[in-house]
């Protein structure tokens, strides 16, 4: 249960409610964002409750097996108001039902790209006049690194019952819910006439039971997953907590999956990231949600067919939105190949693999130009550089994880291509030599004294660094009108700056002169299912991290640091289960202790304290897969 307490710092946790077309992120009783349709678009508005002096606490609780959230406003031991939020599964209708003894005052702030029109006396419902708020996002509006919106989208809001929707003289939109019962309806659609029809149909019968069908949809969804309750031994001390985690993560991943198959990466990032969705796909498979896992693959296949490539992140329901980052051509493409075969191993869906082959061929071949001394480098956004575990100055050094993924994906793809006669034998032979060369050099490049090194400076010494790259400018200042992410040029000091900052001073971060050990990387071979490193080697890689965890109870990405990536504890648990290590019970407790009050894992932890984006499907998917593996190991 999430609880806001007066005069205490809020925990910051976020929950999601979505039906594939509309996606709402709530921070307790406050609504942070409303996206869609489609998911990849600017947010329509933010809605905040004004905290009054008599309000001592606000609790938020999700109904088990559903995405129905109820918030209660407390005055000491008395409940002043109850607010229930839910989304209809079959139409773009978000509902908020309010019962209150006193007046609840909300402030509604439209998004920066949104036009807002308050239409007084728009219509009637149950014989009472109804006001309507018309919010529209014009075609060409931008969001998240200036990605465009291809068509105008409308969201219509109406309030029925004991409430007043008004605009103050300064333009502030406010909603005052008076003592009694209020129902708020938010109807969204890409075509304004359809949004109007949905709203008018809703207002024609405001008392219709809508929460019942919503509840039945989610209960049916929850019944589709594996029966983990039957796998947990009776009386297991963590039984209830494990089942609660499985339930909450199932719902948070489903809510953030769009009808296009793409999955939002969290409330900061309403785009479908390749690496993020790889963790979600594995999580869906571990829980038994095969259609949801397949939808991710279909999303990638369709995007590749449309563009001939895949970017770091793609738009959901919006083909105009594509997020290009630095070095997208390594790491992410290898995940595409591995996840197709990961799905195939569970389903034996040969037709899907065949349809995915053009995408996999591109994903493999695009990495070949990045090989140097048997190594591929780091992706600029989707690895430890983005999280600060490694400095961005090592981006063009060899990456142990990226190279491992290249080898493993290449081995599996070439084996399948040969068996299915997808490529001629000469091409397969050439590619096998390239993969075999990287494999034969891997230990020399990345293993020292039984430890797996995350990076190797040799690659950059051999291949150098590009003169130009699309990236963040290293000399940009806050408030500068030109975009901070654009084409940049390398200076002699190693910094990359844009044209607007050509005359400014900058300083490139220092690159590590030698290999660095990261727990996040050391745990990857077993997680990926490495076929060319021995079991003993992989057990040796994880030993320092495991020992540190046993001594401190924590699992930072870097042994000398405080920051953990949100899935580090999941990788730890996966490895401990894989090797049958007795510390796996302690790891389960540590991982469950990190769950926030909404039942999700977050992007990073600093000293085990949540940091940055909450409600994360990727980290939650990897951690829940590890938990599912632990439960299966109990039988």
Same domain, 436 and 369: yes
Q: What angle do CA 295, 299, 300 make, to 5 degrees?
A: 125
- DSSP-assigned letters across all residues of 561-578: SSEEETTHHHHHHHHHHH
**Above 90 in pLDDT, residue 243?**
yes
User: What's the mean pLDDT in 136-161?
Assistant: 95
Same domain, 27 and 130: yes
Same domain, 496 and 469: yes
Could you tell me which residues come within 8 angstroms of residue 90 by beta carbon, excluding any fewer than 6 positions away? 19, 213, 217
Same domain, 23 and 118: yes
Helices 584-593, 535-552: crossing angle, 10 deg rounding: 60
Mean pLDDT for the chain overall: 95
Same domain, 482 and 356: yes
Same domain, 258 and 372: no
Band the pLDDT of 505: cuts 50, 70, 90: confident
User: What's the mean pLDDT in 344-360?
Assistant: 97
**Above 80 in pLDDT, residue 125?**
no
Q: Give the whole-number percent of the chain exceeding pLDDT 70.
A: 100
Please check whether residue 202 lies inside any domain of the structure. yes
For residue 556, the model assigns a pLDDT of: 93
Q: What is the pLDDT of residues 249-264, one digit of tens each?
A: 999 999 999 999 999 9
User: Which domain does 550 fall in, by range?
Assistant: 232-321+517-635
Torsion of CA 210, 213, 217, 219, to 10 degrees: 100
For residue 293, the model assigns a pLDDT of: 98
pTM for the model:
0.96
Same domain, 501 and 531: no
Q: What is the pLDDT of residues 295-350, one digit of tens each?
A: 999 999 999 999 999 999 999 999 999 999 999 999 999 999 999 999 999 999 99
Q: Give the whole-number percent of the chain exceeding pLDDT 90.
A: 90
Where does a domain end: 223, 250, 278? 223
Q: Which of 13, 5, 124 is nearest to 73 (CA)?
A: 5
Band the pLDDT of 510: cuts 50, 70, 90: confident
Same domain, 311 and 452: no
User: What's the mean pLDDT in 202-231?
Assistant: 96
Q: What is the pLDDT of residues 108-121, one digit of tens each?
A: 999 999 999 998 87
**Above 70 in pLDDT, residue 382?**
no
For residue 172, the model assigns a pLDDT of: 84
- Burial of residue 585, with CB atoms counted within 10 A of its CB: 0-12 exposed, 13-18 middle, 19 or more buried: middle
Q: What is the pLDDT of residues 267-303, one digit of tens each?
A: 999 999 999 999 999 999 999 999 999 999 999 999 9
Q: What is the pLDDT of residues 523-576, one digit of tens each?
A: 999 999 999 999 999 999 999 999 999 999 999 999 889 999 999 999 999 999
Window from 187-196, 340-349, 376-385, 521-530 with minimum mean pLDDT: 376-385
Where does a domain end: 516, 538, 567? 516
Same domain, 180 and 260: no
Query: Token match 């009108």: residue?
Result: 481
Same domain, 22 and 166: yes
Please check whether residue 346 lies inside any domain of the structure. no
- DSSP-assigned letters across all residues of 181-208: EEEEEEEEESSHHHHHHHHHHHHHSTTS
Same domain, 599 and 502: no
User: What's the mean pLDDT in 51-68?
Assistant: 96
Number of domains in the chain: 3
Rounded to 5 degrees, φ, ψ at 381 are: -120, -25
User: What's the mean pLDDT in 152-159?
Assistant: 95
For residue 380, the model assigns a pLDDT of: 87
Same domain, 63 and 200: yes
Supply the CATH number for residue 127's domain.
2.70.98.50
């Amino acid at each position: 249960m999430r609880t806001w307490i007066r005069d205490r710092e809020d925990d910051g946790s976020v929950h999601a409610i979505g039906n594939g077309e509309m996606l709402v992120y709530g921070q307790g009783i406050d609504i942070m964002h409303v996206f869609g349709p489609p998911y990849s678009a600017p947010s329509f508005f933010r809605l905040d409750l004004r905290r009054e002096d008599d309000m001592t606490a606000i609790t938020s609780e999700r109904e088990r097996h559903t995405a129905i959230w109820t918030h209660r406003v407390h005055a000491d031991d008395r409940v002043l108001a109850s607010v229930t939020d839910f989304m209809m599964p079959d139409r773009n209708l978000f509902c908020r039902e309010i019962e209150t003894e006193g007046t609840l005052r909300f402030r509604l702030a439209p998004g920066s790209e949104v036009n807002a029109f308050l239409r007084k006396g728009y219509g009637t419902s149950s014989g009472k006049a109804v006001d309507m708020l018309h919010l529209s996002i014009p075609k060409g509006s931008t969001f998240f690194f200036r990605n465009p919106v291809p068509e105008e989208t409308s969201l219509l809001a109406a309030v029925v019952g004991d409430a007043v929707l008004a605009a103050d003289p300064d333009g502030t939109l406010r909603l005052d819910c008076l003592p009694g019962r209020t129902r708020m309806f938010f109807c969204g659609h890409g075509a304004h006439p359809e949004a109007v029809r949905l709203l008018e149909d809703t207002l024609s019968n405001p008392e219709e039971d809508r929460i019942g069908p919503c509840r039945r949809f989610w209960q049916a969804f929850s019944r589709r997953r594996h029966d983990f309750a039957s796998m947990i031994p009776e009386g297991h001390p963590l039984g209830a907590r494990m089942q609660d985690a499985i339930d909450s993560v199932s719902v948070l991943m489903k809510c953030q999956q769009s009808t296009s198959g793409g999955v939002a990466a969290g409330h900061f990032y309403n785009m479908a990231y390749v690496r993020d969705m790889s963790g979600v796909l594995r999580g869906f498979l571990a829980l038994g949600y095969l259609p949801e896992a397949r939808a991710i693959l279909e999303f990638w296949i369709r995007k590749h067919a449309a563009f001939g490539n895949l970017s770091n992140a793609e738009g959901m329901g919006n083909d105009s939105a594509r997020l290009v980052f630095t070095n997208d051509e390594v790491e992410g493409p290898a995940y595409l190949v591995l996840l197709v075969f990961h799905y195939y191993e569970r389903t034996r869906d040969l037709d899907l693999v065949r349809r995915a082959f053009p995408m996999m061929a591109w994903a493999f071949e695009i990495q070949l130009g990045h090989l140097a001394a048997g190594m591929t480098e780091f992706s600029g956004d989707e690895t430890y550089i983005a999280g600060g575990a490694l400095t961005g100055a090592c981006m063009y050094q060899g990456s142990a994880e990226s190279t491992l993924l290249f080898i493993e994906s290449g081995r599996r793809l070439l084996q399948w291509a040969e068996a299915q006669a997808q490529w001629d034998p000469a091409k397969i032979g050439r590619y096998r030599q390239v993969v075999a060369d990287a494999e034969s050099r891997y230990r020399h490049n990345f293993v020292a004294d039984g430890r797996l090194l995350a990076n190797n400076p040799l690659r950059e010494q051999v291949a150098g660094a590009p003169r130009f790259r699309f990236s963040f400018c290293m000399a940009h200042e806050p408030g500068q009108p030109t975009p901070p992410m654009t084409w940049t040029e390398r200076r002699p000091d190693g910094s990359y700056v844009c044209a607007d900052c050509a005359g400014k001073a900058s300083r490139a971060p220092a690159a590590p002169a030698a290999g660095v050990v990261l727990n996040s990387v050391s745990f990857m071979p077993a997680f990926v299912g490495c076929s060319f490193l021995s079991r003993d080697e992989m057990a040796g890689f994880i030993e320092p991290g495991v020992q540190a965890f046993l001594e401190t109870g924590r699992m930072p990405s870097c042994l000398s640091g405080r920051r953990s990536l949100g899935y580090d504890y999941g990788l730890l648990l996966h490895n401990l289960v894989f090797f049958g290590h007795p510390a796996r019970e302690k790891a389960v407790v540590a991982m469950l202790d990190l769950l926030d009050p909404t039942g999700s894992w977050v992007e990073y932890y600093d000293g085990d304290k949540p940091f940055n984006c909450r409600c994360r499907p990727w980290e939650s998917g990897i951690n829940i897969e590890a938990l599912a593996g632990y439960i299966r190991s109990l039988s």
